[in-house]
Amino acid sequence: MYMQIKKSMVCAAMRERTGFTLIELLVVIAIIAVLAAILFPVFSKAREKAKQATCVSTLKDLGLAFNMYSQDYDNFLPPYGLTTASGPYWTQIVTPYIKGGSEYNYFGYSNIALGGYRPCPSRTNNTSYTYGVNYGSVYGVFGYSEYYNSSRRQIPLIDLNPSCFLVGDARIDRIGNPREYPFDKDSDGDGVKDSNSWGGLGIYNGATERHSDGMNFLFADGSVRWVALSDFMGNKNKMWNR
Ligand SMILES: [Ca+2]
C-alpha cells in the first residue's frame, strides 16, 4: 500500500516534468537574446576587418600600378585628369596597369556594373568613387591636369617624401591636400574645424573614415597603412607633405 502511494506520487512528479514551463522557455529565449546581442557586433566587426584587409590589398596593387605607370612616364605619376576637363581621369588612366583592369574600367568606382573596378568593399553607396588621390596644384601630389596646370610634373615619384600619401579612402576621386585646402570650417557643427571653407570637397576634404574611425592610405614608398582620422587631421608623420 505504502509502495503504491509512493509510486503514484513519483509518476505524478515525472508527468509534471515532461515539458518546459513558460518561465523556463522565457529564460532560455532571454539567454539566447543576450548571447546574440553580444555576438552580433563581434561578427560585424570581424566582417569589417576582412573588408579592411581587402581594401589594403587593393591599395597595394594600386601602388604597384602607379610604379609601373611611372616607369613608362619618366618617373611621374598620372595627373588627376588628363588634357581636357572631360578626362580621362586617373581612375581610368591607371586601371590598365592593374591585373584584370582595362581602359574601360574606373578604378575604385563603387558600381561594378557601370565599369567600376575594385571599389572599397566597405563603401556605403553605389554612386561614387571610393578612393581619392592627394589633390592640389601646389601642395598635392596630383595636379588638376597637364592642360590646366603644368605643375603635374613637379616631383617624380622617387623624389617624393616617402611618408606622403598618394591615395586614401574617400567619398570622391580626390582628397584636397589640407596644406592647400586647410581645415578652416566646421561643417558638422561640433566645434571642431573639419573641412575647407571653399566647400567643393566636403567634410575631411573628401576623405572618409570608413574603417573603424580611420582610413587606409597608400604612401609614396608603396606601403599601405590604416591611419586614424585624428592622425590624418593632425598631419601625423607629415603625411600631407610631399
Ligand atoms: Ca566639425
Per-residue pLDDT of the chain (242 residues; tens, 9 = 90+): 555 555 555 555 555 566 889 999 999 999 999 999 999 888 888 999 999 999 999 999 999 999 999 999 888 888 888 766 666 899 999 999 999 999 999 999 999 999 999 999 999 989 999 999 999 888 899 887 665 555 555 678 999 999 999 999 999 999 999 999 999 999 999 999 999 999 889 999 999 999 999 999 999 999 999 999 999 999 999 999 99
CA distance 92 to 81: 9
207 C-alpha to ligand 1 centroid (Å) = 14
- Structural domain contains residue 173: yes
Distance CA 52, CA 238 (A): 23
Beta bridge partners of 228: 214
- Cβ pair 198, 121 in contact under 8 A: no
The answer to the question of residue 22 being in a domain is no
* In a domain? residue 158: yes
Assigned domain for 122 exists: yes
Please report whether residue 21 resides in a domain. no
Q: Are 141 and 160 in contact (CB under 8 A)?
A: yes
Do 85 and 79 touch, CB atoms closer than 8 A? no
- How far away, in angstroms, is 108 Cα from ligand 1 center? 27
Give the distance (Å) from ligand 1 centre to CA of residue 196: 11
Question: Do the beta carbons of residue 62 and residue 98 sit within 8 Å?
Answer: yes
Q: Which residues contact 50 (CB under 8 A, 6 or more apart)?
A: none
Q: How far is CA 177 from CA 107, 174, 180, 207, 235, in A?
A: 20, 9, 6, 10, 10
Q: How far apart are CA 71 and CA 158, in angstroms?
A: 10
| CB-based contact 173:127 (threshold 8 Å) | no
- Total number of domains in the chain: 1
Judge whether 45 lies within some domain: no
> What is the CA(188)–ligand 1 centre distance, in A?
5
Q: Can you read off the three cell numbers belonging to residue 17? A: 516534468
116 alpha carbon to ligand 1 midpoint, in Å?
31
Residue span of the structural domain in which 97 resides = 53-238
Give the chain's length: 242
> Could you tell me the pTM of the whole model?
0.84
Residue 36: helix, strand or coil by DSSP? Answer: helix
Asked if residue 36 is part of any domain, the answer here is no
Q: For residue 69, is it within any domain?
A: yes
